[in-house]
């Protein structure tokens, strides 16, 4: 289990300063939710942590290890996207084991990891199906399974529920909370949904235009927002 430390993290795309200097500490095993309006830099910050984009300035530590120069595969993270990003021509089992296949893991070990993740996510009976034969909720569980089999030190979720209907959103949210309990992994979860933030987070990070506006427990932010922006975001659930 690893914590994270960000210091002075910045990211520009050309002349656009998108992430403007973020300092943040995340404890091992903590469930941290990044919230903020569309375009404030939530996905970009997650992608910087994952190594899918290079930072322009600052430093990132994952488990006391500087990672700015490491490839995504070396950072001990796994990311779950809003759009699932499954391979349509591969089965559920093959999708879940895909990353392990190229990390030198034996076939028997991959099978065992995939079975274990399928059990946790109740996908046992769907392992031979293709993504096209699954519902949206099942596809998202496969995407989560693909992260689980890698036993990452840190899970990153980018709005994983936003393509699901209301009922499935609630169900999948509870599953993610259960997963955090059983795996005890560090999780960083991006959403623009106040209810998700309030119910899932140990700690909420409110982002605004590439900067941290306020950090605190859901209750602390709800009871003592620093300003109207935070209050508007946390205090008025949909
Ligand atoms: P959020 O996830 O909070 O909605 P993003 O991190 O996706 O916000 O985007 C933050 C800002 O950075 C937006 O203005 C977006 O247009 C810009 N941005 C993100 N990625 C790129 C990129 N690869 N090139 C240029 N601009 C980008
Ligand atoms: Mg985003």
- pLDDT tens-digit readout, 105-116: 899 999 999 999
For residue 74, how far is its CA from the centre of ligand 2 (angstroms)? 23
Q: Is 15 in the pocket of ligand 1 (CB under 6 A)?
A: no
Q: Whole-model pTM above 0.90?
A: yes
Q: Is 42 in the pocket of ligand 1 (CB under 6 A)?
A: yes
Q: Is 191 in the pocket of ligand 1 (CB under 6 A)?
A: no
Distance between CA 135 and CA 8 in Å, rounded? 41
* 174 Cβ contact list (under 8 Å, min separation 6): none
Residue nearest to atom 5 of ligand 1 (CA): 41
Q: Is 41 in the pocket of ligand 1 (CB under 6 A)?
A: yes
Nearest in space to 162 (alpha carbons), one of 87, 77, 85, 84: 84
How far is C-alpha 195 from the chain's CA centre? 17
Nearest in space to 150 (alpha carbons), one of 108, 207, 101, 199: 101
Render pLDDT for 164-223 as a digit per residue (tens, 0 to 9).
Answer: 888 888 988 999 999 999 988 999 999 988 899 999 999 999 999 999 999 999 999 999
Taken as a whole, the chain contains a residue count of 238
ipTM metric = 0.98
- Strands 4-13 and 16-26, bridge-based pairing: antiparallel
Residue nearest to atom 14 of ligand 1 (CA): 39
């Amino acid at each position: 289990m690893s914590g994270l430390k960000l210091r002075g993290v910045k990211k520009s795309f050309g002349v656009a300063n998108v992430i403007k200097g973020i300092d943040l500490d995340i404890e091992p095993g903590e469930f941290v939710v990044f919230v903020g309006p569309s375009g404030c830099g939530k996905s970009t910050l997650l992608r910087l942590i994952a190594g899918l984009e290079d930072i322009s300035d600052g430093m990132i530590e994952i488990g006391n290890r500087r990672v700015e120069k490491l490839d995504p595969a070396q950072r001990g993270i796994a990311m779950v996207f809003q759009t699932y990003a499954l391979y349509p021509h591969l089965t559920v089992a093959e999708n879940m084991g895909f990353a392990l296949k190229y990390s030198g893991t034996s076939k028997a070990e991959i099978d065992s990891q995939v079975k274990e993740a399928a059990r946790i996510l109740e996908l046992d009976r769907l392992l031979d199906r293709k993504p096209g034969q699954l519902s949206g909720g099942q596809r998202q569980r496969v995407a989560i399974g693909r992260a689980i089999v890698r036993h990452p030190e840190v899970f990153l979720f980018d709005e994983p529920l936003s393509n699901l209907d209301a009922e499935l959103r609630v169900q999948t949210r509870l599953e993610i909370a259960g997963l955090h309990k059983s795996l005890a992994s560090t999780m960083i979860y991006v959403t623009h949904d106040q209810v998700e933030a309030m119910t899932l987070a140990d700690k909420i990070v409110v982002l605004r235009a590439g900067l941290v506006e306020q950090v605190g427990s859901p209750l602390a932010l709800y009871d003592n927002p620093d300003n109207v922006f935070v209050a508007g975001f946390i205090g008025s659930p949909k």
